[in-house]
Structure 1
Amino acid sequence: MSISTAHDTTRWLRRAVVVTTALGVAVTAAGCGSGDEEKKPKASASPSATKSSDPQATAKAEVLAVYRGYWDAQVKAYAKASPLDTDLDKYAFDKALGKAESELVALKLNGNVIKGEPKLSPEVTAVNLEESPKKATITDCVDVTNWKLVKAKSGDEVKLPKERLTRFVTTINVRTVGDKWMVVDTQQQDRTC
């Protein structure tokens, strides 16, 4: 990997999240926490799917289910550098979908894929059910330590700068599109967690 490509990859990693940066950046995005959280069954993304006496608790559960579905779709897409047959557009919308698609193009152009899985520790930190669309914010510690950038043809790991963040705080904006919660934006902070 050239110095320029390594620099671009570092820049991407610092801004990645939920994916993620601009076209032309060699990609590796992320998640953090205990791996047990990744195996929880997914709830439906539809607000009418889970009924509770507490609308805030119901919304939080739905938002987390959509966020986990978003990451599951990203892992599949990044493993083959393609959004096809991954349901990424079922969970991501607006800026979040655009970022992921740009990163997938960059991966494909560079002949790379990302193997393994990130670890996530998401927490819904705000929910607003009074506005239309409804909105929520998630704060996550994304750990990409075991999500490796590799050459698609050879499977060889791409060497990345050691000073890059492999665990970072990410803020995720989720809102309803129609009656369905979707991830609309992700912002990685330049700080570890």
Structure 2
Amino acid sequence: MRGRQLNRAAIGLLAVAAVGSATACGAAPETTAGTTADRKPAAPVPRDADEQAAGQAALAAYSGYLDASRAASRRSDPHHPDLTRFLADPLLTRVRLAIRAAREHGAMRTGTLVSDPTVVSVNLDSVPATVEIQDCLDATGYRLVYARDQRVVPGSGGARHLATATATRYPDGRWLISAGAAHEDQPC
């Protein structure tokens, strides 16, 4: 019975933590259904200076999110201080829950998660302002392993897939990643 619970947990963690938590991407994005036709490859979007600056700030927050979620996942620490520097709810809570679940099952993330993000839209007129990011995550070298003996958790292998995230500008001026999804059914 415990083995079956670990496999279910591993599959859930893989889906939740693929972006970072990563994890994470320790990461934390949820898997969504859809076809490749639903999402078009990212294309550069012409921007004015304010939109370009917002896009760069959002990409920096996204990179920080991936780094923080990987670090938190390696240490099995759902309260790693860098998580709150780059993440906001509801994604922050999802990442923390995924890391906590892995720790409770004796698992952690190791390896390398390769990211190639692109800004696909900037909306400075919305309240709050948002930036949409599309990424091709390569999780082939990012594994969920048992902390005790470093064995790979069955069913936790990664692949290259599309991921999306939303960066939101908060009243204090910071850009934080507030939403994310791993589209594991859409290779890139």
- 1:94-113 matches, within 5 Å, as 94-113=89-108
Give the number of the structure whose residues are more often strand, by fraction: 2
CA–CA separation in structure 2 for the residues paired with 1:66 and 1:28:
15
Q: Counterpart of 2:166?
A: 173
Q: List gaps (5 residues or longer) in structure 1.
A: 21-26, 32-52
CA–CA separation in structure 2 for the residues paired with 1:113 and 1:12:
10
2:14 and 2:144 in contact (8 A); partners too: no
RMSD in angstroms over aligned alpha carbons? 2.4
Amino acid at match of 2:174: K
Deviation per CA, 1:118-138, whole angstroms, max 9, x where unpaired? 110111101011122111100
Deviation per CA, 1:109-158, whole angstroms, max 9, x where unpaired? 00111112211011110101112211110011112111111111222322
CA–CA separation in structure 1 for the residues paired with 2:176 and 2:25:
18
Q: Counterpart of 1:184?
A: 178
Q: Counterpart of 1:18?
A: 19
Q: Counterpart of 2:116?
A: 121
Q: Counterpart of 1:6?
A: 7
Percent of aligned pairs with the same amino acid: 26
- 1:1-193 matches, within 5 Å, as 2-19=3-20, 29-30=24-25, 54-160=49-155, 166-178=159-171, 179-189=173-183, 190-193=185-188
Deviation per CA, 1:36-74, whole angstroms, max 9, x where unpaired? xxxxxxxxxxxxxxxxx7111111111100100011100
Question: For this pair of structures, how many residues does the alignment match?
Answer: 164
2:17 and 2:98 in contact (8 A); partners too: no
* TM superposition shift of 1:15: 4.9
1:165 to 1:108, Cα distance in 2 relative to 1, 3 A: closer
1:13 to 1:155, Cα distance in 2 relative to 1, 3 A: closer
Tell me the TM-score normalized by structure 2: 0.77
